[in-house]
């Protein structure tokens, strides 16, 4: 892929304070992102879920309780995905189209049956600045910028305030480099098939 498209993804929310602040920042820049929500938070903050969708962002499934799926039975995995799916649909009326396994932990067999049963593509990432270790906003920004490339998927967490603090500088510098922000599903649609 040579076009400078990039996807910004936010995991583990929504968060009652940080997610609305992030949505304000994204709106000011007309940047669309993808939110991999946890089902417990989706149920708790349905108004924030609706705002995410109303402002043109995408929501993906990040399970209900954030377990390591690779160590679970098929029935356990199915339940995690189904309950989160239902929470997203119940809050927003929109069905998620992709999932991200917590910790990136998933087997290839699980990916395959999840695609068949739920229709989900399993989405990991190309850049992980490890913002959850709280390295500081400027470090999050510099790691994202140095890892970013065309077709990239950036992973951060909208439950951490310093990550939100890092977003204006990160987004503005990526925009200045010519990147266009798209959702994960938009990015997938651009990938050459085959």
Asked if 11 is an active-site residue, the reply is: yes
Give the shortest CB-66-to-Ni ion separation in angstroms: 6
Map the footprint of Ni ion across residues 67-106, applying CB under 5 A: 102
Give the shortest CB-45-to-Ni ion separation in angstroms: 16
Catalytic residue among 57, 66, 85, 157: 157
Nearer to Ni ion, 11 or 131 (CB): 11
Nearer to Ni ion, 129 or 179 (CB): 129
Q: Decide if residue 165 touches Ni ion (CB under 5 A).
A: no
What is the residue whose two structure tokens read 């938070």?
Answer: 41
Pull the structure tokens for residue 103. 């910790």
What is the residue whose two structure tokens read 């995991």?
Answer: 11
Q: Decide if residue 131 touches Ni ion (CB under 5 A).
A: no
Q: How many residues bind Ni ion (CB under 5 A)?
A: 3
Strands 58-61 and 34-37: parallel
Catalytic residue among 11, 12, 131, 165: 11
Cα–Cα distance measured from residue 80 to residue 68, given in angstroms and rounded to the nearest whole number: 11
Nearer to Ni ion, 33 or 179 (CB): 33
E-assigned strand segments in 62-145:
98-99, 121-122
Q: Decide if residue 12 touches Ni ion (CB under 5 A).
A: yes
What are the phi and psi torsion angles at 36 (to 5°)? -90, 95
Cα–Cα distance measured from residue 86 to residue 84, given in angstroms and rounded to the nearest whole number: 5
What kind and span of H or E run contains 180? strand 180-181
Asked if 157 is an active-site residue, the reply is: yes
Give the shortest CB-179-to-Ni ion separation in angstroms: 24
Give the shortest CB-9-to-Ni ion separation in angstroms: 10
Strands 180-181 and 5-11: parallel
Residues that bind Ni ion (CB under 5 A): 11-12, 102
Residues annotated as catalytic are 11, 157
């Amino acid at each position: 892929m040579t076009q400078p498209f990039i996807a910004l993804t936010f995991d583990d929310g929504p968060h009652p304070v940080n997610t609305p602040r992030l949505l304000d920042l994204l709106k000011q820049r007309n940047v669309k992102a993808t939110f991999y929500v946890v089902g417990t938070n989706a149920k708790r903050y349905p108004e924030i879920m609706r705002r995410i969708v109303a402002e043109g962002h995408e929501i993906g499934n990040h399970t209900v309780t954030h377990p390591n799926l690779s160590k679970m039975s098929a029935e356990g995995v199915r339940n995690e995905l189904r309950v989160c799916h239902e929470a997203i649909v119940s809050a927003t009326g929109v069905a998620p189209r992709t999932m991200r396994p917590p910790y990136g932990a998933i087997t290839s067999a699980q990916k395959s049956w999840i695609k068949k049963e739920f229709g989900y593509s399993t989405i990991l990432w190309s850049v992980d600045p490890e913002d959850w270790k709280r390295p500081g906003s400027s470090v999050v920004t510099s790691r994202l910028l140095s890892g970013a490339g065309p077709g990239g998927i950036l992973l951060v967490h909208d439950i951490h305030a310093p990550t939100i603090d890092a977003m204006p500088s990160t987004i503005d510098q990526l925009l200045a480099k010519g990147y266009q922000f798209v959702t994960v599903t938009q990015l997938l649609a651009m990938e050459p098939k085959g």
